[in-house]
Structure 1
Amino acid sequence: MRLGPLPEEEWDDEVISALSRMLPAERRNAEKAGNVLTTMARHPALTKAFLTFNVHLLFRSTLTERLRELAILRVAYRRNCAYEWDHHARMGIDAGLTETEVEAARGNAQITDDFDLAVLRAVDELDEKSNLSDETWAALSERFSERQIMDFVFTVGAYAMLASAINTFGIEVDTRH
């Protein structure tokens, strides 16, 4: 671990305020916030800005929860981010993904739904080229509105960035769920 969670004795009103963007009051503490947020708490201004954006992606996005989680899982797999994988595999199941679909996000199972395949291909293209091919854009456009495509691209980018931070800082998977 290169950068660990902020020790509880260093938590102040600025940290609590930053975390209030996402967490209910009972989770705004070093024990219940989780390793990512307690590490981000070391930089409250950045945390506040990122969580404002992330709250949109998680709670106000035009994407369905299921497709959002499928995309995030593919990002986590491609970026080799155990923390993101662990967290979002559970969220994906809660959002309606099957165990087979979760495993398909890492290439360990087959998905037969053409649109799910397009979503996985789109994540791959964004990760490899920071762009979508015309074919993939067309496939997404069959079911996604313009706003959904925008939310999709920003979701993939945000979670790729978050995976980079998690991996670089050495943030460990939470042992409590």
Structure 2
Amino acid sequence: MARIRYADPSELPPEKRDLLDTLSDADPEARDHSLEGGTLNVYRTLGRNVDVLEGFREYGGVVWEAGGLSAHERETVILSTAYYAETAYEWHQHVRVALDEGMDPEAILAISREETDRLPADRATLVAYVERFVEGDVDDDLHEQVAAHYDEETILGVNALAGCYLGLARLLQALDVDLEQEFVGWDLENL
């Protein structure tokens, strides 16, 4: 049970209620994801402070879209952040997004099974980088490894995206936000 009460859409000012929608609900032009339809508990939690919800949605949208990453790279960063931060909520939601984006389940499992040698070199480097990012221990050597695959603008995007999702992971954990469905599992056993 969550530690704070989820916001009900009726509690928000009418002009702010769409902030509780998934991105694909809020924007008809958005790609259809399994997140479509219904209000996620993450947004209902943030909805207890509408200004925070609004700011988070804006920032999250920017790091999602403008980080210089492909959809598969973006989901690799988010799933790696979720895995190394040990947040089932983010993992669960983004397994679904990654699959909708055409990411191979084996690539997702390579993250949770820590078998990144099964990934292309650039993705394996992203996973290693994000692991150390979550631990707060990115060193010069690892930075150089990621710089061999990505330019500075994209590296900044990787850091901003991982930082956004790491912060969200800690919020979800601290407030014990519930999944809306049964956890998909670290091994995708409930997919």
Deviation of the 1:9 alpha carbon: 3.4
Q: How do 1:5-84 residues align onto structure 2 when only pairs under 5 Å count?
A: 5-13=6-14, 15-16=16-17, 18-19=19-20, 22=23, 24=26, 32-84=38-90
Provide Cα deviations, 1:15-66, integer angstroms capped at 9, x if missing partner. 326558955179xxxx822111111111011111111110012223311110
Counterpart residue number, 2:121: 114
Counterpart residue type for residue 26 of structure 2: P
Counterpart residue number, 1:127: 134
Alpha carbon RMSD of aligned pairs, Å?
2.4
* Preserved contact between residue 81 and residue 165 of structure 2 (Cα < 8 Å): yes
* Preserved contact between residue 107 and residue 119 of structure 2 (Cα < 8 Å): no
* Preserved contact between residue 7 and residue 44 of structure 2 (Cα < 8 Å): yes
* Preserved contact between residue 84 and residue 163 of structure 1 (Cα < 8 Å): yes
Provide Cα deviations, 1:98-119, integer angstroms capped at 9, x if missing partner. 1111011112545242222111
Deviation of the 1:14 alpha carbon: 5.7
Overall identity of the aligned pairs, in %: 20
Q: Per the alignment, do residues 42 and 25 of structure 1 end up closer, same or farther by CA in structure 2, a change over 3 Å counting? A: farther
> What CA distance in whole angstroms lies between the structure 2 residues aligned with 1:21 and 1:76?
19
Deviation of the 1:163 alpha carbon: 0.5
Question: How many residues are matched?
Answer: 171
> What CA distance in whole angstroms lies between the structure 2 residues aligned with 1:112 and 1:55?
27
Counterpart residue number, 1:3: 4
Counterpart residue number, 2:92: 86
* Preserved contact between residue 14 and residue 44 of structure 1 (Cα < 8 Å): no
* Preserved contact between residue 22 and residue 40 of structure 2 (Cα < 8 Å): no
> What CA distance in whole angstroms lies between the structure 2 residues aligned with 1:43 and 1:108?
37
Q: Per the alignment, do residues 5 and 162 of structure 1 end up closer, same or farther by CA in structure 2, a change over 3 Å counting? A: same
